[in-house]
Amino acid sequence: MSLLEVRSVSKQFGGLTAVDDVSFDVFEGAIKAVIGPNGAGKTTLFNILTAFDRPDEGRVSFDGTDIVGQPPQRIVRAGIARTFQNTQLFEEMSTHENVMAGAHAVTRAGFFGAALRLPWTVREEREVAEEARRLLRLVGLEEWADTPAADLPHGLRRLLEIARALATRPRLLLLDEPAAGLNTAETASLADALYRIRDRGTTILIVEHDMGLVMEVSDEIVVLDRGAKIAEGPPRLIQKDPAVIAAYLGEEDLDEL
Amino acid sequence: MGGTELLQFVLAGLKNGSIYALVALGFTLIYAATGVINFAQGEFYMLGGMLSVWAYADLGLPLPLAGLVGVAATAAVGGVFELGAIRQRKDGDPLALIVITVGGSMVLSSMARHLFGPNERPLPLFSGGGSVSVFGAVLEVQTIWILGLTALAVVGLWYLYNRTGLGRAMRACAVNRDAARIVGIDTRLMVTVSFLLAAALGALAGLAVTPLTQTAFDVGPTVGIKGFAAAILGGLGNPIAAVVGGLVLGMLESVSIAFISSTYKDAIALIVLLAVLFMRPQGILGRSSREKV
Amino acid sequence: MGERTIDIRTVAVLALVGALVFAVPLLTADRYLLKVLTFVGINVIIITGMALLFGYAGQVSLGHAAFYGIGAYTSAYVVTSLGWPWLGGVALAVAVTSVGGLLLALPSLRLKGHYLAMATLGFGEIMRVVFVEARGITGGPDGFSGIPFASVGGLAIDSAGANYWLIWGVAAAMLALAANLVRSRAGRAMRALHGSELGALACGIDLTGLKVRVFVISAALAGLAGALYAHVVGFISPSTFSLHASVVLVAMAVLGGTRSLAGPVLAAALLTLIPFADAVIPGLSRSALETIQEWQEDIYGLTIIAVLLFVPGGVAGALRRLSRVGRRWG
Ligand SMILES: Nc1ncnc2c1ncn2[C@@H]1O[C@H](COP(=O)(O)OP(=O)(O)OP(=O)(O)O)[C@@H](O)[C@H]1O
Ligand SMILES: [Mg+2]
């Protein structure tokens, strides 16, 4: 079943068309990748899907409901979570607290309940803490639970952001270049984590420049170039697609294709 | 109400409005250069009057020279405040800078009290106490001075902005600080210059009004808030809008005294301020660009 | 809460400080000292809200003295002129300031940037004009006098000691609630918002809603403090609720430091005591006190500037360093 439907989405910045009439579907349970040269509009597309930006035209529906124009917190509640190309961690909070903050949208304790420490809020808090530990284990960060995010080794910061996104209990997880800055070993364990996340029932849409990773994990790939979709299909076909190869000509990524 | 009476209110509105305009220009210059609301702007107005009084009465300088000293000394205070406080906050966090200007305002007015005492201090009229009749309405000569000096300041600022390299550099900073830095403009210097100018403009307003109202260490905040309301009303960051905002606000106050009551006169500017903030935060002349949270 | 259990030493320190604060009326009969310390307690109530607003939600208000004043006049009027019970007056004061806070915060916090600072400044000045001009209710510039002491069920709280306990009891309760709050989901959201707005949005945190709630709480606490103040002193006038008073509150919050309650509370105590230095420093000469009072504005202003330029952690930062040292020794 199609979990996410993107239909004719366009976005302009001044005279520049960052996303140009893009349509595709993401099916439940899949790992789908969005690739394209620098400036192709991948991050802009993600911003539109998560309501950080509004499309000028087009429709996005998630699980059958139109989500354009809703505030970001609604989108998160609806079940779409994301990470950022430039990690947006809460640097002064511990790794564990970062993930607990991710559970904000799926918990309910309000100001009154919390101020009075009503029993159910205390219980909810304990459950969130446990859930956060489980998620840290899932991405392999359990040893770092009490470390402030600012002190986390660079390669682990993206994993923390993924754990935090998972704490929102998403049905669809959007990852913007999760392998950027990771070494080979870290990328391999990222791939493992992606499979584990998918196997828990979370659909994944991933933007990534590391072609090795993309070809390995994704079921399907959408290729953007200068805002427009130029190809879509399984990795094997994308690798041979002449339009894709032309788009990447002059890009260093060509070797990896 | 007769036409003459109405004209009298219009003249009063123009007089107050041009004071607000000068103070609003100060807000706008600093905002354009730094993105900061300088809550000490009213103190520059106070210092302009106070330091002129000091130069005239305590130093015994002739009035024109005393005025010059008052404005120049206030500008220097503005520059020192920027160098000593604003510039020292290395991360440029606007929120911290705004709060720093709030603290600065408190210190400046308190210093004025230490140095010049708690009492109101007078300054003579620039050219005697005469007045002229304009279609039956009375126009005091000092008001002509106020309008004239404001016009002069606006023209001078326009010239600076449009005809000099310094002005162009300042405008470039206002549009895009990073780009300005890349093309070799000393953006830090532009911030200092904008504080100097803002202080001088505020001081000019204070100097021009003091012969009519006297001055005291605590007159800053009230006028500061009105100038601020004017800047917001016109559209923060745009000098022309500041002048228009000042004049419109002066008129609004004047008209409301004429038709409503003078009891809440001081609240008019504030209600205008809140109304504009809530309904048209970019000001009457600003382009609609509500920033998304 | 969460994973950060409060360690035994913190509990011990809190208990000791609490016991000391509550023992003061037993240890001294100095009514002036008790009154001054009661003022400290009132400011602690306000600063609890300011600590949440400034230190946790990162918002600046330049108009909190107005809420303080609205609370004071509301309770003074309905209790003195309309014969309401004291508790009713205080409750109404809290309700009115909450609604006022909501009406001010909703439009200003929806916009980015520093509109709240500007809007609260304008609001504070409007209220100052209203306090002076609405003579029928406020008594105008001469103030409102003859406000009765607090009384609950016929029991009047009319001694300096009883008022001290009343105020500090309320202050302790508010601090406890605030301490729970900052350790909860809401407190985490506030710290998240401080860390990264984009990250907070991605966690589904409604930034505007959060800031508005915190602002309303801080306005209500100022209103509560104002109502209590009116009945403690019996006389209120507009000068207490001026822009200047708002700026002093900002000075307390800034000196206190961010993401802390203890820091702002200590800062509030310190800055409140400055003009009353003779109450806590025995044998302070008359002229020394006058000098201090003469320079108090400079002290407030320079405190703001110096803390923001050179000691961004404020008192809270110093406390954190102290507790780190303490842990190393313990
Ligand atoms: N807020 C903005 N204002 C103006 N232009 C923008 C904005 N955001 C993105 N752009 C432009 O839109 C185009 C697409 O940018 P986007 O960040 O979506 O690309 P991308 O595919 O994510 O690139 P990369 O691989 O480098 O991350 C670029 O040309 C970029 O400069
Ligand atoms: Mg990108």
For A184-201, give one letter per residue: b (16+ CB within 10 A) or e: eebbeebbebbeebbeee
Report yes or no: C197 and C207 within 8 Å, Cβ to Cβ: yes
Tokens in use for A146?
Answer: 């009490």
Mean per-residue pLDDT over chain C, rounded: 92
Where residue C329 falls among pLDDT bands split at 50, 70, 90? Answer: low
Nearest to C308 among B96, B270, B271 (CB): B96
pLDDT at B42: 96
* Residue A255 clears pLDDT 70, i.e. is over it: no
- Other Cβ atoms less than 10 A from the Cβ of A129: the count is 19
Of residues C177, C185, C194, nearest to A104 (C-beta): C185
Residue of B nearest to C109 (CA): B293
pLDDT digits (tens, 9 = 90+) for A61-120: 999 999 999 999 999 999 999 999 999 999 999 999 999 999 999 998 989 999 999 999
Residue-wise pLDDT for B78-122, tens only, equals 999 999 999 999 888 888 899 999 999 999 999 999 999 999 999
pLDDT tens, residue by residue, A125-136: 999 999 999 999
d(CA B283, CA B75): 28
The boundaries of the domain holding residue C239 are 2-329
Asked if C282 is an interface residue toward chain A (Cβ–Cβ < 8 A), one would say no
C-alpha Rg value of chain C to the nearest Å: 20
Judge whether B117 is closer than 8 Å to chain C, CB to CB. no
Banded model confidence at residue B52, pLDDT cuts 50, 70, 90 = very high
**C58 touches B at CB < 8 Å:** yes
Total structural domains in chain C?
A: 1
pLDDT value of residue C6: 63
What element of type H or E holds A111?
A: helix A111-115
Instruction: Give the ligand at the shortest distance from the Cα of A53.
Output: 1
* pLDDT on residue C112: 67
CB contact under 8 A, C199 and A168: no
Q: Looking at ligand 1, which residue's alpha carbon is closest to its atom 23? A: A39
pLDDT tens digits, residue range C76-98? 999 999 999 999 999 999 999 99
List CB contacts (< 8 A) between A77 and chain C: 204
Report the SS3 class of residue B119: coil
- Supply the mean pLDDT for chain A: 93
Among C60, C109, C118, the residue with its CB nearest the CB of B95 is C60
CA distances from C242 to B108, C64, C146 (A): 18, 9, 21
Task: For residue C118, give the nearest of B88, B105, B277 by CB distance.
Answer: B277
CA distance readout (Å), C136 to A17, B261, C241 = 62, 17, 18
Query: What is the pLDDT at residue B5?
Result: 85
Q: Which site among A117, A161, A164, A174 would you substitute to test the C interface, given the most C Cβ atoms closer than 10 Å to its Cβ?
A: A117
Pairing of strands A172-176, A80-82: parallel
Q: Choose one of A9, A17, A44, A85 to mutate for the ligand 1 pocket test, by most ligand atoms within 8 angstroms of C-beta.
A: A44
Q: Which helix (H) or strand (E) holds A186?
A: helix A184-199
Non-local (6+) Cβ contacts of A254 within 8 A are: A245, A248
Residue B182 pLDDT more than 50?
yes
* Interface touch A90/C196, C-beta < 8 Å: yes
Query: What are the structure tokens assigned to B44, written together?
Result: 């520059």
List chains adjacent to chain C, taking adjacency as at least 3 C-beta pairs closer than 8 Å: A, B
Cβ-defined contact of C126 to B270 (cutoff 8 Å): yes
CA distance C172 to chain A (A): 13
Nearest protein Cα to ligand 1, atom 8: A44
Interchain CB contact of C215 with B (< 8 Å):
no
- The CATH number covering residue C47 comes to 1.10.3470
Residue C196 has φ and ψ, to the nearest 5°, of: -160, 115
Question: What pLDDT score does C235 carry?
Answer: 97
Q: How many beta-carbon pairs under 8 angstroms link B with C?
A: 120
Question: Are the C-beta atoms of residues C314 and C255 closer than 8 Å to each other?
Answer: yes
pLDDT at B136: 86
Does ligand 1 come within 6 angstroms of the Cβ of A86?
A: no
Model pTM score: 0.92
Which percentage of chain A shows pLDDT scores above 70? Answer: 96
Residue of chain B whose Cα is closest to the Cα of C251: B103
Angstrom distance (rounded) from CA C305 to CA C311: 10
Name chain C contacts of A92, Cβ cutoff 8 Å. Answer: 191, 194-195, 259
Average pLDDT over residues A211-219: 94
Q: Is the pLDDT of residue B292 over 70?
A: no
C32 inside 8 A of chain B by CB: no
Contact C203 A96 (CB under 8 A): no
Q: Which SS3 state, helix, strand or coil, does residue C88 take?
A: helix
CA-closest residue to ligand 1 atom 11: A18
Closest residue by CA, ligand 1 atom 9:
A44
Is A104–C188 a contact, with Cβ atoms under 8 angstroms apart?
yes
Domains along chain A? 2-93+153-256 (3.40.50.300)
Give DSSP secondary structure letters for C244-298: HHHHHHHHHHHHH-SS-SHHHHHHHHHHHHGGGHHHHSTT--HHHHHHHHHTHHH
* CA separation, residue A206 to residues A45, A187, A251, B62, B249 (Å): 12, 14, 20, 76, 54
Contact between B16 and B229 (Cβ < 8 Å): no
Closest by CA to B143, choosing from B156, B158, B127, is B127
Q: What integer pLDDT is reported at residue C5 of this predicted model? A: 54
Q: Stretch C168-184: mean pLDDT, rounded?
A: 95
Testing ligand 1's pocket by substitution, the residue of A11, A12, A13, A47 carrying the most ligand atoms inside 8 A of its CB is A13
* Separation in Å, CA C237 to CA A20, B216, C142: 64, 22, 6
Angle at which helix A184-199 crosses helix A119-139, to 10 degrees, equals: 130
Its sign, for the CA torsion C269, C272, C278, C279, is: negative
Q: Looking at residue B264, what DSSP letter applies?
A: T
Q: How sure is the predictor about B256, in pLDDT bands with cuts at 50, 70 and 90?
A: confident
The 8-class DSSP code of residue A252 comes to: G
pLDDT value of position B95: 84
| Rounded Cα distance, A32 and A50, in Å | 16
For residue range B110-143, list pLDDT tens digits in order: 999 999 999 999 999 998 888 888 888 889 999 9
Q: What tens digit of pLDDT does each residue of B36-49 get?
A: 899 999 999 999 99
% of chain B surpassing 70 pLDDT = 97
Ligand 1 lined by A23 (C-beta under 6 Å): no
- Range with the lowest mean pLDDT among A5-9, B255-259, C163-167, C240-244? B255-259
Any idea what DSSP says for residue B138? E
A44 sits in which H/E element: helix A42-49
Q: Check CB contact under 8 Å for A50 and C202.
A: yes
% pLDDT > 90, chain B: 65
CA-nearest residue for atom 26, ligand 1, is A38
pLDDT given for residue A223 in this prediction: 96
Q: Tell me, in angstroms, the distance from the centre of ligand 1 to residue A39's CA.
A: 5
pLDDT bracket for residue B265 (50, 70, 90)? confident
Between helix B239-259 and helix B220-234 the angle, nearest 10°, is: 110
Q: Which residues, including other chains, have CB under 8 Å from residue C80's CB and lie 6 or more apart?
A: C144, C146, C147, C148
Give the pLDDT confidence score for residue B291 in this predicted structure: 39
Report, as an integer, the average pLDDT of C42-63. 95
Mean pLDDT calculated for residue range A192-221: 95
* B85: closest CA of chain C, how far (Å): 7
Neighbours of B289 (CB within 10 A): 8
Residue C153: the pLDDT is 83
Nearest neighbour of C186 by CB, restricted to A81, A111, A128:
A111
Ligand 1 contacts CB of residue A43 (under 6 A): yes
A195 lines ligand 1 (CB under 6 A): no
Residue C1: pLDDT band with limits 50, 70, 90: very low
pLDDT classification of A15: cutoffs 50, 70, 90: confident
Q: How far apart are CA B209 and CA B231, in angstroms?
A: 19
